[in-house]
Structure formats: structure tokens, C-alpha cells
Chain A
Amino acid sequence: MLELNSITKIYNPGTVTEMCLFQDFNLQINDGQFLSIVGSNGSGKTSLLNIICGSIPIENGDVIINGKNIARLKDYQRYSRIGRVYQNPAMGTCPHLTILENMSLADNKGRRFNLSSGINKNRKSYYQEQLATLGLGIENKMDIKVGLLSGGQRQALALIMTTLTPIEFLILDEHTAALDPNTAEIIMKLTDQVVKSKKLTAMMVTHNLRYAANYGNRLIMMNRGQIVLDRAENEKAQTSVDDLLTMFNAISIECGN
């Protein structure tokens, strides 16, 4: 379970451009929830992710994962519990390392990076098995450099790498936004499949209202640092794209997607 308790976030404090985004913000995400977050630009979606991951500082509040307060930890320390897939497919992989080397790095998360062999040959077939679930054929290209893959292939690889080791929380940061519509569709289906099969607790920021409506079992809409809509389970299932669009237009100037 992830809890955000009385978060206060002020941008540029003490200057003329001071802007208070979150004031006493609270959010609780239960185990097994797959939460979609929508909202216009500047509504605080990405700030929320950055606060959880420790990429930006906060003025006040607690970030609690499974009972442990991580608000005072450095960003890299938090990632021992969190996995994150970025909007930019280049962020989740190393372009000059091979697929096998990238998978080996990801597989060693949570363990020591010592002087033992970087690549465990016994694990290669396991990696190939995992990559085969993508259906992209990259499991047969283990020794090519990741920089030679397409954006969609890299994003798929990043998704597998992020979820290769046990994590307590998965963050999807507009992870289909930089992909063409077909590839985005494939990545979204894969994401859903991975989240379900590994029983992950996940949080997805998206500008695609259709994805928000069709995937996941909880949905929140944000506006100016506040949650203006929060629907889960059946209530969420009955929410259509049109409903979302109507509400979205009501609160925002710009329609995402």
C-alpha cells in the first residue's frame, strides 16, 4: 500500500513566481490497485510521481510504502522498492549495451554490483522467455545493442526490465506518449498483462482518456493539485471515455490525448 499524507509542495518558494501546487494533499493506493491518473497540463500528475520517487523535494508530508516512510530517503534509495517506466523510451535502457547486458543489469537490482561476472549465462534462457512474452522477436537478438531497437521495442524492453525483479510499486509516467498509436496500443496491452500476471500495484499517468477508462481498476482526475474525481472498481468500470471527456472539458482548457 502506498500512502501520501498531507503533502505540501510549493514551487519557487519565497520568490514572486511562488506557486503552491499541493496543500495538505492525501492519496492512498491499496495493494493490487492499478490506478490511472488523468488531468490537464500543470494539474500536478507528474509532480505527484516525482514526489513519490524523490525527484523533487517537498515542503511537508509523508510518503509511505507498505508502512515505511520514504519521504526522507534519496531518490536512488527509494527505487529499491519502486520501478518506473518513463515517457522517453531512451530513459529505461542503455543504448550502447546489448539486450543481454541490459537484462543482466536489471536482474541484479537489489543485489551488489561486485566483481563477479556481469552476465550470468544460466539466466539467458529465462531472459529470453520473459522477452518472448512481448511477441516482438527481440529474444532472438540478445547480443545486439539496444540503441538499434525502435522506440516501441525499447519501451517494451524497459517494461520487462523494470518488472524483472520484485518491486512494491510500479510507476508508469506517460509511458505510451512518445509512441505511434499502434505501438502505444501494444505497449498498453503488455503493461496490463504484466501488471495482472505479476499482481503489481501500479500508478499510470496518461493523457489518453481511452487508456484511462479501459485499463486499470481505479481512476482519478486531477486539477490544480486536487483530486476532482476518484472512481474505483464497478464505479470505474461504468465510466466511459465520453463521461471522462465531458468532465475533462468542464475543468480544463486543454484536452490531452
Chain B
Amino acid sequence: MNVLLDLIISTSTQGLIYALLSFGVYITYKILDFPDLTVDGSFPLGAAVTAVMMTNGSNPWLTLPVSMAAGALAGLTTGLIHVKLKVRDLLAGIITMTALFSINLQIAGSNLIINRDVDTIFTSAFVTSFLGSSSLIYRKLIVSLLIVIMVKVLLDLYFMTKSGLLLRAVGDNSVLVTSLAKDKGTVKIIGLVISNALVALSGSIVCHEQRAFSSTMGTGQVVFGLATVIIGTTIFQKFDSVHGTTAALIGSIIYKACMQLAISLGLPANLLKLITAVLFLAILVFGNYQKRHNATLKQKG
């Protein structure tokens, strides 16, 4: 029984940490309507920056803002390539992602393991002073939960500001943004910066959690992000009042739970990406079916 409980807790923790990545993909894919592949590079970028800082004895909490800044820079690069050099959105992301693979290895040197005697955010003095008595997996859950809630609330607040409103407008109808005498390119860049900062933050926390950076840890993260956003928004599409961030968060947890279930049922780890692809396809087809179904209902009604 305890094993099962531990499994549920660690799966939830995974879902929460990766929800930060989902928030990022939600901003680009859902709000900006920009398929941003930078994610596959900015996610390990956050981890690489974190791993290097930790092995050099930096304060674990400091790695979070620094990772976010690095991710923001990655988003800025994609944005500038797309807006200023007029490269198509998909290709702009691919270019940055490809460049980041080498950059990440340059930053980290090689795949890195963080020694057991180095404190992560989950074992830092600050956290143990509050949660010292609880075991590590509870601490991971609580710390992740607090960070995710904080980011979610800040994002939801941001979407209500004038700047946030303009960001939502640019994906919805960029012509209107031009009519408002605002440069839609700048607004897109702002969105990409925020998105990739969140993705890198997710990568950073994953690095804390796993005590490792690997150059290939970014592979498939875009697909993961898209899948979670689509799962979340498909589930909640009938509920207008549910925030997109909530949908992405729930989507992330559901996705990680499904994966955990598949592994627990004896699925070989080598097949994981294949299952991801199949699951993603199934979600897309299901989403299309639901849309058509709803459209027919509307016509009849």
C-alpha cells in the first residue's frame, strides 16, 4: 500500500513540475498560435544551467531565476529570428532548438550528475526548516506544488493586465493589434520570452529532482507539452470559466499518470516515446471528433 502511495505522490510531483513546461507551451501554442519547437532546447538549457551552478556550489534557489533568464534568452532568439529575419515560426524554433543542443553541452561540458552531498531546492536548509520531519518525496511534492501554484497565479494575473490582454489579442486576431498601433512582432516576442522562461524553469526543477542533466532530456518535450495542453483544454472545453493554466496543469498530471500506469503495467522504457506519439495522435483525433460532434449539435440546436 505504501508503495502505491509513494508512486502516486511521485507521479503527481512529476505532473506538477512538468506543468510549468505545459504553461509555456500553452502560451505559445494556445494563446499565440505559434508552434514553438524551441522547447526541446530550452528545457535542457534550464537543466544544464542548474547542473553547472549546483556543481559549482551555488545557492540552489538562485538556479531558478538564472535558468529562467537563460530560457527567456532562448525565446528571445526564436522571436527575433521569426520577427526580424522573417523566418517561418516552425523553422525559427527548429533553428534555436538545434543550436541549443550544442550550447547546452557547451554549458554543462557533458552529461552531469549532481553529487548527493550537494543541496537541491528540496533539501535546502530553507525547506528542511519547515518540512524537515517529512520524507523527501513529500517535500518534493509540497515544494513543487507551491512553485506551480505561485507561477499559475502570477500568469493568470498577467493575462488580466493590459499587456496580457494584448498578448491574447495577437494570437486571436493580429490585425486588430496592428490597428491598435502596436507592433505584433514585439508582442509575439514577449510571449516567446515568457514561455521559454517557464520551460527552462521546468527543466531546472527536473534537474533538482533527478540530480542530473542529460543532453537528450529535451527530446519529445514539445510533444509532451502539446499533448498536455490539448488533453486539458479538451476536457475543460465546455467550461468557459476554467483558466487555460488550470487545464494545462490537469493535463500534465493526467499525462504523467498515464505514462506511470503504462510503465507499472510492464511497458518497456524503450517504447515510451512510441506510446507518447500514439497517445498524442489519439488525443488529436478525439479532439477533432469532439469538435465535429459539437458542431453538429449546434447546427441541430
Chain A residues in contact with chain B, CB under 8 A? 74-80, 83-84, 86, 90-97, 101, 104-106, 108-110, 112-119, 145, 162
Contact = CB atoms under 8 A, between A and B. Distances in A.
Contacts of A112: 162
B176 A93 contact: yes
14 contacts: A75-B178, A79-B180, A80-B181, A92-B175, A94-B172, A94-B173, A94-B176, A95-B173, A97-B169, A109-B180, A114-B162, A114-B163, A115-B158, A117-B162
Contacts of B168: 94, 96-97, 101
Nearest to A108: B162
B169 A110 contact: no
Contact of B163 (A86, A110, A113): A113
A93 B172 CA distance: 9
A93 B173 contact: yes
B169 A77 contact: no
B213 to A, nearest CB: 34
A57 to B, nearest CB: 15
Nearest to B180: A109
How would you classify the secondary structure of chain A's contact residues: helix, strand, loop or mixed? loop
B296 interface: no
B88 interface: no
B285 interface: no
B165 A104 contact: yes
A115 B154 CA distance: 12
Contact of B166 (A75, A76, A92, A113): A113
Given A115-B158, A118-B165, A110 B181 contact: yes
Interface in B131-184: 158, 160-166, 168-169, 172-173, 175-184
B94 to A, nearest CB: 28
B165 A101 contact: yes
Contact of A76 (B160, B169, B183): B183
A106 B173 CA distance: 13
A80 B181 CA distance: 5
Contacts of A84: 179
Given A76-B184, A80-B181, A105 B161 contact: no
